[in-house]
Amino acid sequence: MITPERLIQKTKVFLLDLDGTLYLGETPIGRVQETLALLRAAGKKLVYCTNNSSKTPSEYVRKLEKIGLWGEGDMVYTSGIAAAEYLRKYRPKERVYALATDEVKADLAARGVPLDEENPDVCLLAYDTSLTFAKMKKFNEFLCAGKFYAATHPDAVCPALPCPMPDVGSFIEMFRVSSGRTPDVVCGKPCPVMGEGLESLLGVEKGAVAMVGDRLHTDIRFANCSGFTAVLVLSGETTAEMAAASADRPDIVLKAFDNLLPLLAAENSAKSV
């Protein structure tokens, strides 16, 4: 375990999960806005790192601006971006059938992923909130034909009210039953594809990167697998009892991310004297 002081000192980049970590629904958790502002003032890079591939980075920026969390120099990195970078690197020029919203498909195309609705080489399963039976049928037929199969992330459910909603992990299980296939690669947390993409993008040593999140089996496992500092917050899914019983080990546990605020405020005040 490390101290909050050491966490702030050693970290150049904070990878930040969203729902349950920074906000619940659209309500910021505690004084997180001030915490983020002081991290920026201290020269830290903030990267909003989410598995949810139902939205484009631009859509996330608009949401974060609305909630009051977005700031100059911030970045968004989704499992959809990780999948696009994986396909461009390892399956270059192969054409992709993406089970995704129209907005996400447009973003994939803008990132250099060639899309094909009729004769693809690759099937990409994203979190398609516009899903129809016709789309599922076509995707399943491509899987049965042996096309390379990628998924953006493994989460079984997406937090929502009044109850969790089926996410990509649930669709993976459905297609396993219907086609006998499981993904050849999964790109989002906790899988290493996302870590490799972030390392390449950020250009900093692993020890200077901290992943902050509320889920043990995605955020904390991802940090453990990627060599990043694992910061667990107890403001979302995970309780202290769950953390104590888990094989996924955080380097530091905070009740909420704004627990860092007094230290950051003190540092900022000392610098301004």
Under 8 Å between Cβ of 211 and 238: no
Q: What's the 3-state SS for 159-226?
A: CCCCCCEECHHHHHHHHHHHHCCCCCEECCCCCHHHHHHHHHHHCCCHHHEEEEECCHHHHHHHHHHH
CA–CA gap between residue 92 and residue 71 (Å, rounded): 34
Is 271 a residue whose pLDDT tops 70? Answer: yes
Q: For the chain, how long is the longest CA-to-CA vector?
A: 68
Which residue in 193, 187, 243, 203 sits closest to 220, CA to CA? 243
Say what the alpha-carbon torsion angle 203, 208, 214, 220 is, to the nearest 10 degrees: 90
Q: Give per-residue pLDDT as tens, 26-63.
A: 899 999 999 999 999 999 999 999 999 999 999 999 99
H or E stretch covering 51: none
Name the average pLDDT for the chain: 95
Enumerate the β-bridge partners of residue 99. 125
> Which one is predicted more confidently, 158 or 170?
170
Helix (H, G, I), strand (E, B) or coil at 142: helix
Model-level pTM? 0.93
Q: Return the structure tokens found at 130.
A: 């516009």
Under 8 Å between Cβ of 193 and 82: yes
Is 160 a residue whose pLDDT tops 90? Answer: no
Q: Give per-residue pLDDT as tens, 94-133.
A: 999 999 999 999 999 999 999 999 999 999 999 999 999 9
Position 88: which residue type?
R
Under 8 Å between Cβ of 264 and 35: yes
Greatest mean pLDDT among 158-162, 168-172, 234-238, 267-271 lies in 168-172
**Residue whose tokens read 């702030």:** 8
